[in-house]
Amino acid sequence: MSDPTLRPRSLVLYKGQPALVQRADDKLDILLADGKTVKVRAKDVQLLHPGPLETFHQLQPPPGELQAAWELLAGGETTLQELAELIYGDWTPAAAWATWQLVEEGLYFRRTGEVIRVATADEVAAEQAVRARRAAEQQAWAACLERVRQGRYAPEDERFLRDVEDQALGRRERTNLLRDLGRTQSKESAHALLLEVGFWTPFVNPYPLRLGVPTEPPSVPLPPLADEERLDLTHLSAFAIDDEGSADPDDAVSWDGERLWVHVADVASLVTPDSPADQEAQGRGANLYLPEGTVPMLPPEATQRLALGLAEVSPALSFALRLNGDGEVVDVEIVPTWVRATRLTYEEVEARLTEEPFATLHRLARLRAERRKAHGALSLDLPEVKIRVQDGQVTIKPLPPLQSRELVSEAMLAAGEAGARFALAHQIPIPFTTQDRPDPPEEPLPDGLAGMYALRKTLKRSQQSSIPTPHSGLGLDAYVRLTSPLRRYLDLVAHQQLRAFLRGRPTLDAQAVLERVGAAEAVTGAVAYAERLSRQHWTLVYLLQHPKWRGQGVVVEAKGTRATLLIPELAWETKVTLRRELPLNSVVPLTLVDVDLPNLEAYFRAE
């Protein structure tokens, strides 16, 4: 900037800091402010002042007239030496270093090469405003960090915590708040922090949003019901049997003295292939069932207009099944109908199993179950519970193994088997449900709950396919899910195909069905996972609300004193260390020790 010749006792810049040249040959020996001497190339330094400079103590800034110099030069250009002489009245190493620092500070002066541009009054004011905002932001950030470290937050901290919320919901991978707190950058760590400071309560369920599952119902329009011929079955008693509190009954059963009727909500009469509602349902795959409520795959209007038993008379697609003495379906008729359904709970039907038509329906269900068992069907009898969230309380109710449940499930399976056979007989492409045979266990399965637990681990996942292969777990050679078109998209596709055939219209080809299978499977996995994680979440919230919980677990797997237990009243699996080795199916008293909600863990002590 001044004399380009580097010589001893010159003041130079090295990595933005002052340095004193001690020796100048092919390379320079320079002394740094921290007392270290380094050897560098001439191009690695920048001459600031030719000197002489003896020590760094001589670089103390002299008194100067910064404001006057800036006002005089505002809007113009200058050089480092000219600016130093104007501010400090002299060109010394100390003046050069002080002026350089003012230029680098960038408020009044900005450097481009050898030229220094002097800011205008407006530019200075704007920069001062920016710096004031930045300082206020840094102060707000520091205050937020301090409050969060103390386990609290103020309203002004919410904008910072929203980033952490996004991380907890899987919308971003890292946040500055977790970084500056020295915490792990993870969804679970973010969740824990939000709970610690009270930004979230345990009643925030993050899993549907974290998995990208829609949490609001669709709002696409539905057309009016088509004016078409329907068989009037309103004279026939039809019963829509479901759990208490169910809001979307889409199937019902009847017995006409000769045939078992399975009536299914005629969703395909309103939702046709590639319609807006169909595309919306395809993108969701299935209803999202959460303890805090249900998010439907179809507009709520579909349930209001089509669910069986919500109106006095409902449109249905009915399956009339004729069974032989062994419970085999020997004939099926599928027809659009009008039905008058009565809603009942499983408990209500359980109390009426000796009455008709429930006695006959139950007898047929037993025949069907025995027939499937003879064909290799597997029956899992593991604990099930109903979890509900209402008015700030979580309730968990074990579901007893009622015979009325078997009555309904066997009727639905019979309809699925009959629908599959009908589709095959008439060459209707349809999404079949299949399951490969389980791997043979290495050792004989134990009895009791431990045996059910071990059996479940051998089962293969069921799959959807356009090719009919057996469903080994159900003991059926061909099967299609078709009794829940309000709840599952591929059930709706099956209805669309059957309905098109019955009305003499073109059906989707096998490739189109396969594409719909792929689209549904791409999203239903996330839906099922969100449901499972949500159930775990609310079970843990229940335990948080019952911190002195005591109960019992059943040993279903053990390796020494380290055991896996199932807690039937919670349908919860946990690992504990026992006081001593116990045989499988032993009942162990348990006491709740701790709950880690973000990591979905509950810790119990075996008594």
**CATH number of the domain bearing residue 195:** 1.10.10.10
**pLDDT for the residue numbered 63:** 92
What are the phi and psi torsion angles at 497 (to 5°)? -70, -45
Q: Domain check: are 247 and 184 in the same one?
A: no
Residues 511 and 381 in one domain: yes
From CA 535, how far away is CA 289, in angstroms rounded? 10
Structure tokens at 336: 């659009």
- Classified as helix, coil or strand, 35 is coil
Q: Range of 189's domain?
A: 122-200
Burial class for 167, CB neighbours closer than 10 Å (0-12, 13-18, 19+): buried
515 and 392, same domain (yes or no):
yes
- State residue 247's pLDDT score: 85
* Residue 520 within any structural domain of the chain: yes
Sites in the chain below the pLDDT cut of 70 = 1-4
What pLDDT is attached to residue 5?
72
Q: What is the pLDDT of residue 244?
A: 86
Angle at 418 between CA 414 and CA 424, to 5 degrees: 150
Tokens for 148, please give them: 């969060």
Give DSSP secondary structure letters for 214-254.
Answer: --S------PPPP----EE-TTS-EEEEE-TT-----EEEE
Residue 302 lies in a domain: yes
What pLDDT sits at residue 442? 78
Q: Which two tokens stand for residue 605?
A: 């002590």
Are 178 and 260 in a shared domain?
A: no
Amino acid at residue number 220 = V
Looking at the fold, whether 162 and 289 belong to one and the same domain comes out as no
- The length of the chain is 607
Give the pLDDT of residue 4. Answer: 56
Number of independent structural domains in the chain: 4
**Helix boundaries (H) for 426-571:** 448-458, 489-502, 510-545
Residues 42 and 147 in one domain: no
Do 53 and 143 lie in one domain? The reply is: no
Residues 6+ apart with CB under 8 A from 495: 264, 266, 267, 268, 317, 482, 485
Residue 25 maps to which CATH number? 2.30.30.30
For the chain, the maximum distance between any two Cα atoms, rounded to a whole number of angstroms, is 117
- Residue 57 has what pLDDT? 92
Same domain flag for 490 and 453: yes
Q: Is residue 185 part of a domain?
A: yes
Name residues whose C-beta falls within 8 Å of residue 338's C-beta, 6 or more positions apart in sequence: 230, 231, 232, 233, 234, 313, 314, 315, 316
